[in-house]
C-alpha cells in the first residue's frame, strides 16, 4: 500500500494541477528554498560518479561525527552510516534488530508499515497528555506485559523527539522514564531525531543521554535543511562492540538494497554538517518561520472549537475535533476519514486523518502540516523566510483566512 503521506501529496498536487483550489496541509515537506551555497556544492560535485563505500565517504562521516558531537552526543566517524534518507535506515534497523516494535500512538505513518513489511508485530502505547513522540511511561510496562502475554516479543522502542504528527517535544522526564523501562526490558531504542534542529525554543531531550549503549539515532537533512527530495539520511550507532556489530548488520542490508548515498549528496552532507554560519542562520530563520505559522494555524483550530497541543517543534499540529462530535455527526461525519474527506471535498482543505498514525477509526483527529503555506513560488518562500512577521505576508494571511473559513464552515453546519 502507498504510504499515506506520499499518497495525499500526490492526490492534492493532481487536484491543483487540474486547476482546483486546494489548501495543502497534508504533507510533511519543509517548504523552503535550497540555500545558494548548498546548490553550488551539489553542482560542483556532479562529476562524482563512483559508488564509494556503503557507509559513506570518510569526509562525510567525519563531518557527521562533528555534527552529532556539537549537539551533545560525542561521536566518532566509525559510528555513522549514510543512506538515501532516514526512512531506509529505519527499515534496515527493523530488519537487523530482533523483536517486535513498541510505538507511541499516534506516531509517524511509516513505522507500523515498515514493521509489518519486516514481519514484526507492533505494540501501540498512547502518548502522554503533555506531548507526543514517546509512549506514556505510566502505561508502557503494562502494555509490554500484556503484549508478552499474547505472544509478542517486544524488542525495539521507537521514540520521535521532536514528534511528527503532534509537533511537540517529549518532556525530559518522560524520555528518561521510558529509557529506564527500555533498559529493564532489554529493548533497543531507535531515536528518530529528524526534527531535532527545529525545536522552536530550546532543545529536545535525547535518549542517548539516558541509554547511550542501546540507543540508535536516525536523522537527516530532509527537515532542518528542507532537502527531502535529495534524500540525505544518516544513523548513529552506539559506541562499542554492540554498536559495531549492528553497523555491520546495517551495512549488510544497505549493500544489498541501496549500495550507498549518491556521491554528490555526500558532498552536500559534508558541507552542511559542518554547520557553516550562513546555514546556521538559515536554519534559525526557518525555525522562526515554522513556529510563527504553526502557532497562527493552531490559533485557528482552537478558535473553531478543536483541542490541540501547542506546537513546539517543526511544522505540524494534531487537532482533535472531539468537542464538535455532535455538530459533525449532524453532517454524517463520524470518524477521522470522513472528517478529512469533508474538509477536502466541501472546503478544499487537504489534511491526513489520524487513522494513518494509528488512531481508532472513530477518532476525530487529523495531522495538519503547516509548512506548505509559506508560498507558491520560490520567491514567496524566500520572502517568508526573511520576513520578521511572515503571518502578515498577503499569501500566508490569505491561506490562514481560507483555513479559518473552512473550519468555521465545518463547525457551523448542522
Ligand atoms: N521520521 C519522521 C518522523 C518523519 O516525519 C520523516 C519524514 O516525513 C522521516 C522520518 C523520513 O525522512 P527522510 O527519509 O526524508 O529522511
157-211 confidence digits (pLDDT tens): 999 999 999 999 999 999 999 999 999 999 999 999 999 999 999 999 999 999 9
Whole-number Å distance, alpha carbon 28 to ligand 1 midpoint, is: 8
Q: Between 411 and 75, where is the model more confident?
A: 75
Q: Which tens digit of pLDDT belongs to each residue from 60-110?
A: 999 999 999 999 999 999 999 999 999 999 999 999 999 999 999 999 999
String of b and e for 177-204 (b: at least 16 CB within 10 Å)? bbbebbeebebbbbbbbbbbbbbbeeeb
The CB of 192 under 6 Å from ligand 1? The reply is yes
> In angstroms, what is the C-alpha Rg of the chain?
21
Q: Among 153, 131, 157, which residue's Cα sits nearest to residue 215?
A: 157
Nearest residue by C-alpha to atom 8 in ligand 1? 28
For the chain, domains (ranges, CATH) are 4-30+278-412 (3.90.1150.10), 36-274 (3.40.640.10)
- Distance, CA of 57 to CA of 18 (rounded, Å): 43
**Cβ 359 vs Cβ 18: under 8 Å:** no
Whole-number Å distance, alpha carbon 86 to ligand 1 midpoint, is: 6
pTM above 0.85, yes or no: yes
Q: Per the structure block, which three cell numbers stand in for 61? A: 562521516
**Which atom in ligand 1 lies closest to the alpha carbon of residue 86?**
16
The CB of 220 under 6 Å from ligand 1? The reply is yes
Whole-number Å distance, alpha carbon 87 to ligand 1 midpoint, is: 6
Amino acid at each position: 500500500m502507498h504510504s499515506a503521506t506520499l499518497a495525499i501529496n500526490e492526490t492534492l498536487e493532481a487536484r491543483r494541477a487540474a486547476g482546483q483550489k486546494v489548501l495543502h496541509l497534508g504533507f510533511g515537506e519543509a517548504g523552503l528554498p535550497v540555500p545558494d551555497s548548498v546548490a553550488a556544492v551539489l553542482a560542483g560535485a556532479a562529476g562524482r560518479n563512483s559508488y564509494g563505500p556503503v557507509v559513506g565517504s570518510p569526509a562525510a562521516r567525519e563531518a557527521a561525527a562533528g555534527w552529532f558531537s556539537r549537539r551533545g552526543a560525542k561521536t566518532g566517524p566509525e559510528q555513522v552510516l549514510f543512506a538515501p534518507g532516514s526512512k531506509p535506515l529505519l527499515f534496515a534497523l527493523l530488519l537487523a534488530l530482533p523483536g517486535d516494535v513498541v510505538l507511541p500512538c499516534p506516531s509517524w505513518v511509516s513505522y507500523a508499515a515498515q514493521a509489518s513489511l519486516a514481519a514484526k508485530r507492533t505494540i501501540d502505547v498512547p502518548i502522554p497528555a503533555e506531548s507526543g513522540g514517546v509512549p506514556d511511561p505510566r502505561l508502557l510496562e503494562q502494555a509490554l506485559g500484556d503484549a508478552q502475554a499474547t505472544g509478542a516479543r517486544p524488542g525495539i522502542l521507537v521514540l520521535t523527539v521532536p514528534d511528527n504528527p503532534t509537533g511537540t517535544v517529549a518532556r525530559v522526564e518522560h524520555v528518561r522514564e521510558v529509557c529506564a523501562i527500555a533498559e529493564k526490558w532489554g529493548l533497543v531504542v531507535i531515536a528518530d531525531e529528524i526534527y531535532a534542529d527545529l525545536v522552536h525554543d530550546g532543545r529536545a531531550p535525547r535518549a542517548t543521554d539516558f541509554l547511550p549503549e542501546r540507543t540508535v539515532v536516525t536523522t537527516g537533512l530532509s527537515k532542518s535543511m528542507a532537502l527531502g527530495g535529495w534524500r540525505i539520511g544518516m544513523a548513529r550507532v552506539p559506541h562499542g562492540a554492540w554498536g559495531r556489530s549492528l553497523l555491520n548488520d546495517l551495512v549488510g542490508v544497505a549493500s544489498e538494497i541501496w549500495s550507498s548515498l549518491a556521491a554528490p549528496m555526500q558532498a552536500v552532507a559534508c558541507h552542511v554538517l559542518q554547520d557553516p554560519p550562513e546555514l546556521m542562520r538559515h536554519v534559525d530563520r526557518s525555525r522562526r518561520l515554522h513556529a510563527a505559522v504553526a502557532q497562527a494555524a493552531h490559533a485557528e483550530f482552537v478558535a473553531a472549537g478543536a483541542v490541540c497541543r501547542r506546537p513546539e517543534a517543526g511544522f505540524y499540529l494534531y487537532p482533535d475535533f472531539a468537542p464538535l462530535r455532535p455538530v459533525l455527526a449532524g453532517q454524517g461525519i463520524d470518524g477521522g476519514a470522513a472528517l478529512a474527506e469533508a474538509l477536502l471535498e466541501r472546503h478544499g482543505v487537504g489534511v491526513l486523518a489520524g487513522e494513518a498514525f494509528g488512531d481508532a477509526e472513530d477518532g476525530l483527529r487529523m495531522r495538519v502540516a503547516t509548512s506548505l503555506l509559506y508560498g507558491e513560488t520560490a520567491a514567496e518562500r524566500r520572502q517568508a523566510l526573511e520576513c520578521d512577521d511572515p503571518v502578515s505576508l498577503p499569501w500566508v494571511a490569505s491561506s490562514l483566512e481560507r483555513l479559518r473559513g473552512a473550519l468555521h464552515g465545518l463547525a457551523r453546519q448542522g
